[in-house]
Chains A and B, each alone.
Chain A
Amino acid sequence: MKKYVFLLGILILACGNQSKQKTIEFWQFWTDPKAKPVIENVVAQFEKDNPQWKVNITDLTWTDGHQKIVVAFGAGNPPDLLELGSDWIAEFAAAGALSELPGDTSGLLMLSPGIWENKLFAWPWMLDTRAIYFNKSLLEKAGMSIPTDWGQLLMTCQKIQALGEDISGFGANSNEPHRLYKKFLPFVWSAGGDIMADNRINLDTPELQRALAFYQQLAHCGRVETQKNLEDAFCEGKIGFVISGGWLLKRLCDKPPAFSYELGHIVPEKRGGAALSFAGGEYLVIPQKSSNKDAAAKLLHSLTSLANSQSLCDSVGFGFPPYANQDITSPQKRILFDQLQNSRSTPQDRHWVYIEGIIETMIEEVTLGKSTPGQAIEKAQQKIGEIERN
């Protein structure tokens, strides 16, 4: 009998101990076999430092992660800490689904995607930008040097295109959702324009018209493909210029191609002008309905510290921690980092999920020759107006 009472006592104690440990639900997208252990190590350290907390990591995929997140918010059961892509934050912040984040933001880069109505709702975790990759061998064959403005870029692309049937001057993106606008907006920004004016989307500007007309010309002296196919073709030496991120640099370093290449900043419209690119990244948010906000914030700050964010970037081989002061020795990575500091992100609009589709259709109509830039812009602006009215 005594034995049973003893065992019962142990059981009650064990249960009591367990109930003291609370769980932080953390949803994230890093399933890469090199990146996941980095996150697990940070989490293990957090659990060691905070024994009352246990972190339950749930992996999401980019294919259906957004749907799962929206469904979880809709069902009123979101996680305590969540990774979001930079272009998703406005959608959730505008719906009042995120909680404002505390902490010192000085020295942080690219805070703008995380800000909604002057409040910070998302903390940058890892950032990356897009720059131009040049096939130097093709440039030399075409007798051209690295272009410094749009006119030179177009001429160089035309000369490279003329080198052979399977050689393309420029790699233009096809209408892949969430990708095409990221390749097009740098041209608008580098022409001195923007698509956001007085907190609303305005496409009907001379800068956007020039950018669209130029992108059309570039597409005509290049190939229109998916991002993956463009990068494959660039690595095979078939494209003169392609816009891509740090992941392509990693690929080229891992498997050096048979031609020489160079990385450069986005080409400005006029020599010496603004050369702005698109930057995106991974952000961490704490949902409004989380009942463990303080602990989640502690974990968030641990994950996004310079050292831990750097480890994450090192594990995947690209990206930058979101800090302005960094010691970068690689010249090519320095170009990307400089470009990152001269980048903008997705415009903050609650209807962005619709608007990006409209902008991408507008670009595609022009690149496929179905509309003139003016007609496509007018049509797109009309559609955006309808969305705003509804």
Chain B
Amino acid sequence: MNRLNTLILVSPWLFTLGIFWVFPVAYSLGLSFTNYSIFGQANFVGLANFSRLFTDPSFLLALKNTAYFVLGTIPFTTIIALILAVLIAEKVPGHKIFQAGYFIPSITSMVVIAVVFTSLYARGGYLHLLGKFCGLPVPENGYLFSTATALPSIMIMDVWVAVGYYVLLFLAAIKSIPTEINEAARLDGAGFWRRLIAVTLPQIAPMTLFVVVINTIRSFQIFIEIYVMTKGGPLGSTSTVVYFVFEEGLRKFNMGYASAAAYLLFIIILIFSLLQMKLISGKGKTI
């Protein structure tokens, strides 16, 4: 009877999970082996969609851009968040204001941020003028209209947005370090740097790896910024895998091909996540 009650109580959640998550996920897996487009019949094509992906220059470019984005943002986001969290934990003057300030971008709509940064990066925008003022070789038509600067510009914005959330995570981890350990280190004559390297960093290692894992997953899924700021341009230089899926699936309606690309991305994220979780559990044993 208890089991039945439990089932009844969780059934609304199970129902929505089944309808809006499990079914679409399973359905799109099926679609990835077909040539389904909205107006046509779905014919089974085996692994043709997946093999086509590996020879499609647009997909390969999107994959390259995504990898560049992931590898280019994660180290910066993690290191900057860590430094800021350590400074806040050390209670530098005004640390509470900084703590709130860093978090504000994380709770602001990404669409709003992307629109604001599009203006800042545009020809005559503040960041464009600042670059010129500093004598930097800024692109004449703004940062987002040059193949060399468009993706790095979005990456810089993304780091700025993401840092605040990870600062909070690091801060929570630093504050959970038993005070006795730091006090003991102090008594042994350890200064700030020694305590940071010998106490703080090893103690927050699981959190560091957690941050890297969720940041990796999030970065692989970058879409809103691209959609709002560049639509994958110029010349595909900011096209990412999720944007490619959107273009193929919802603009060209190649549902089968788009599903295959989405599953390939899922596999890539899964491999990265498993690797990192393996690292987390490995590190956990040593702590």
- List residues of A whose CB falls within 8 A of some B CB: 66-67, 70-71, 73-74, 95, 97, 166, 174-177, 223-225, 229, 353-354, 361, 364-365, 368, 370
- Bound-state CA distance A365–B250 (Å) is 25
Q: Which of B38, B141, B234, B235 contacts A74 (CB 8 A)?
A: B38
Q: 15 A-B pairs, CB-CB below 8 angstroms? A: A66-B251, A67-B251, A70-B38, A71-B38, A175-B234, A223-B140, A223-B141, A225-B122, A225-B123, A225-B142, A361-B235, A365-B235, A368-B146, A368-B234, A370-B147
A176 touches B235 (CB 8 A): no
- Bound-state CA distance A166–B140 (Å) is 10
Asked whether A370 and B235 contact (CB < 8 A) given A70-B38, A71-B38, A224-B141, the answer is yes
Chain B positions within 8 Å of A95 at CB level: 39
Chain B positions within 8 Å of A166 at CB level: 124
Q: Shortest CB–CB separation between residue A45 and chain B, in angstroms?
A: 35
- Bound-state CA distance A370–B140 (Å) is 16
A177 touches B231 (CB 8 A): yes
B234 touches A174 (CB 8 A): yes
Chain B positions within 8 Å of A177 at CB level: 231, 251
Q: Shortest CB–CB separation between residue B161 and chain A, in angstroms?
A: 22
Nearest first, the 6 closest Cβ-Cβ pairs linking A and B are A74-B38, A95-B39, A175-B233, A224-B141, A67-B250, A70-B38
Within 8 A of A (CB), among B139-192: 140-142, 145-147
Is residue B98 contacting chain A, with contact meaning CB distance below 8 A? no
Q: Closest chain B residue to A229 by CB distance?
A: B122
Is residue B263 contacting chain A, with contact meaning CB distance below 8 A? no
Q: Shortest CB–CB separation between residue A122 and chain B, in angstroms?
A: 17
- Bound-state CA distance A365–B251 (Å) is 22
Q: Shortest CB–CB separation between residue B148 and chain A, in angstroms?
A: 10
Chain A positions within 8 Å of B231 at CB level: 175-177
Interface of B is mostly: loop
B39 touches A73 (CB 8 A): yes
Asked whether A74 and B39 contact (CB < 8 A) given A223-B123, A354-B252, the answer is yes
Chain A positions within 8 Å of B253 at CB level: 70, 74
Asked whether A224 and B250 contact (CB < 8 A) given A174-B233, A370-B235, the answer is no
Q: Shortest CB–CB separation between residue A308 and chain B, in angstroms?
A: 32
Q: Which of B38, B145, B251 contacts A225 (CB 8 A)?
A: B145
A70-B38, A74-B39, A97-B39 given; 7 more Cβ-contact pairs under 8 Å = A67-B250, A70-B39, A74-B38, A177-B251, A224-B141, A225-B123, A364-B233
Q: Closest chain A residue to B57 by CB distance?
A: A383
- Bound-state CA distance A354–B253 (Å) is 11
Q: Closest chain B residue to A94 by CB distance?
A: B39
- Bound-state CA distance A87–B147 (Å) is 29
- Bound-state CA distance A174–B147 (Å) is 12
Q: Shortest CB–CB separation between residue B276 and chain A, in angstroms?
A: 35
- Bound-state CA distance A74–B236 (Å) is 29
Q: Shortest CB–CB separation between residue A107 and chain B, in angstroms?
A: 34
- Bound-state CA distance A73–B122 (Å) is 39
Within 8 A of A (CB), among B191-240: 231, 233-236
Within 8 A of A (CB), among B101-156: 122-124, 140-142, 145-147
Q: Shortest CB–CB separation between residue A324 and chain B, in angstroms?
A: 34
A73 touches B38 (CB 8 A): yes
Q: Closest chain B residue to A175 by CB distance?
A: B233
Asked whether A353 and B251 contact (CB < 8 A) given A71-B38, A74-B38, A225-B141, the answer is yes
Within 8 A of A (CB), among B234-287: 234-236, 250-253
A174 touches B145 (CB 8 A): yes
Q: Closest chain B residue to A66 by CB distance?
A: B251
Q: Shortest CB–CB separation between residue A61 and chain B, in angstroms?
A: 14
Chain A positions within 8 Å of B38 at CB level: 70-71, 73-74
A368 touches B39 (CB 8 A): no
- Bound-state CA distance A97–B253 (Å) is 15
A224 touches B145 (CB 8 A): yes
B234 touches A364 (CB 8 A): yes
Q: Shortest CB–CB separation between residue A168 and chain B, in angstroms?
A: 9
Q: Shortest CB–CB separation between residue B99 and chain A, in angstroms?
A: 36
Asked whether A368 and B250 contact (CB < 8 A) given A70-B38, A73-B38, A174-B234, the answer is no
Chain A positions within 8 Å of B233 at CB level: 174-175, 364
Chain B positions within 8 Å of A67 at CB level: 250-251
A353 touches B235 (CB 8 A): no
Q: Closest chain B residue to A97 by CB distance?
A: B39
B17-29 near A? 1/0 per residue, CB < 8 Å: 0000000000000
- Bound-state CA distance A177–B232 (Å) is 10
Chain A positions within 8 Å of B123 at CB level: 223, 225, 229
Q: Shortest CB–CB separation between residue B243 and chain A, in angstroms?
A: 12
Asked whether A368 and B147 contact (CB < 8 A) given A97-B39, A174-B233, the answer is yes
Chain B positions within 8 Å of A354 at CB level: 252
- Bound-state CA distance A175–B141 (Å) is 13
Chain A positions within 8 Å of B145 at CB level: 174, 224-225
Q: Shortest CB–CB separation between residue A167 and chain B, in angstroms?
A: 12
Q: Shortest CB–CB separation between residue B240 and chain A, in angstroms?
A: 16
Chain A positions within 8 Å of B142 at CB level: 225
Q: Shortest CB–CB separation between residue B31 and chain A, in angstroms?
A: 12
Chain A positions within 8 Å of B147 at CB level: 368, 370
Asked whether A368 and B235 contact (CB < 8 A) given A70-B38, A74-B38, A174-B145, the answer is yes
Chain B positions within 8 Å of A365 at CB level: 235
- Bound-state CA distance A74–B38 (Å) is 5
- Bound-state CA distance A361–B234 (Å) is 8
- Bound-state CA distance A165–B145 (Å) is 18
Q: Closest chain A residue to B125 by CB distance?
A: A229
Of A67, A177, A229, A361, which is in contact with the most chain B CB atoms at under 10 Å from its CB? A229
